[in-house]
Amino acid sequence: MKKLLVLLLCVLMLPSMALTQDEAPLYTALLRYNALVYPDPVSEQQLARLNKGQRVDIYEVLPARLKVGREGKVLGYIKREKLDDYTVTTLQVGKVPTYPGIQNTYLGWVATPTPVRDAPGVSGAELITMYEGARLAFIGVENGWAKLIFKRQYGYVDTRDLKELLPVNLTGENDPDAPIAAYTSFYNIATDENNLSRILNLEVSCEKFETITIQPGTNFDFNRDLGPYRKSNGYHPAIVLIDGGTQLGYGGGTCQASSTLYNVVLQLPGLQVDHRRPHGPGGISYLPHGADAAVGNTTQNFKFSNNYPFPVRIEGTVQDGALTICIWRTM
């Protein structure tokens, strides 16, 4: 009884933040683990603790944390891995991406060597350098800096270093010159043999996307449509994740292609995820927690159905550490 009283007091004494005008939760879900509450997206100051099994409302999805609240009050930020992803319910259906998707609104092409920085401005630390022709998907533009997700944090590119910044066709109208969704993930650019083979497998995946059109009422099956992962099908031996460990296998790297595609699909209300399996509780480091989709066998596969009244196609590019995948409406 005493323990129950203490838990109740912890919940009742949680500090809350004022809601901004028209702020409403996007999702609701249960906690999988106990979660510390922080005052902002980067602080380690601990405001309070929420207990596993409690329901929280989600007001904002960031690369590493979630802005959460309870009973109409914003409490602060928790780490993404504390949430039970399988219990998420979308509260604004059709208005926000399926959790944990983040809407990208621009597709850009690099004109000159330019760094992706960890903060807007020349004082931001360099995360990776992009070169002419590299293609990137951006969340938006802030004061001349294009914003994207770099692994588990935000990254920024000076728009003056872009030769083109194309708005994504968010409405899905019949515009052949713009994709209806896009996402960029970043891969290791090391030049050892295994990693170079992994990069080649990303390129093979993108080449195979070009042969596929998903008609209305039909589905995409990653293992079926891009497999089998064999030498005879163009794949190279590279490191693959199996049962929490790593080993050499043909097709290593295709999980990054499927995971990046998963993040594109999450942005589109007309595409329904039918099957997705994460890489274990910790996910993978090149994407935010809960945003990956493993492929390779019967249980590890990524499938989605096209519920739009028009066909769609997938297209990807691989350059300078950036894998960018787009989905286009076809004529």
Task: Provide the percentage of residues in the chain whose pLDDT is more than 70.
Answer: 91
Domain endpoint, select from 33, 64, 90: 90
Phi, psi of 57 (to 5 degrees): -100, 145
- pLDDT at residue 4, as a whole number: 34
Total domains, the chain: 2
d(CA 209, CA 327): 10
Residue 35 has pLDDT above 80, yes or no: yes
d(CA 246, CA 239): 6
- Indicate whether 85 and 183 sit together in one domain: no
For residues 320 and 131, is the Cβ–Cβ distance under 8 A? yes
DSSP string, 296-324: SSSSS--EEEE-SSS-EEEEEEEETTEEE
* pLDDT higher than threshold 50 for residue 264: yes
- Identify the domain containing residue 156 by its residue range: 106-329
* 160 plus 294 within the same structural domain: yes
Q: Which of 29, 63, 90 is where one domain is finished?
A: 90
What per-residue confidence (pLDDT) applies to 210?
95
Give 331's Cβ-side CA count (13 Å radius). 2
**At residue 8, does pLDDT exceed 50?**
no
Helix (H) or strand (E) holding 226: helix 222-226
Adjacent-strand bridge partners of 240: 247
pTM tops 0.85, yes or no: yes
Residue 96 lies in a domain: no
Q: Please tell me which residue, 6 or 124, carries the higher pLDDT value.
A: 124
* CATH number assigned to the domain comprising residue 7: 2.30.30
CA gap 96, 102 in Å, rounded: 8
Does 257 map to a domain?
yes
Residues 135, 278 share a domain? yes
Higher-confidence residue: 17 or 326? 326
Which pLDDT score, from 0 to 100, does residue 243 have? Answer: 58
Given 66, 90, 114, which residue is the final one in a domain? 90
Average pLDDT over residues 31-52: 97
| Beta-bridge partners for 76 | 68
Same domain, yes or no, for 66 and 25?
Answer: yes
Domain annotation covers residue 99: no
For residue 205, being part of any structural domain is answered with yes
Look over the chain and give the mean of its residue pLDDT values, rounded to a whole number.
Answer: 92
Q: Are residues 205 and 325 in the same domain?
A: yes
Residue 197 domain flag: yes
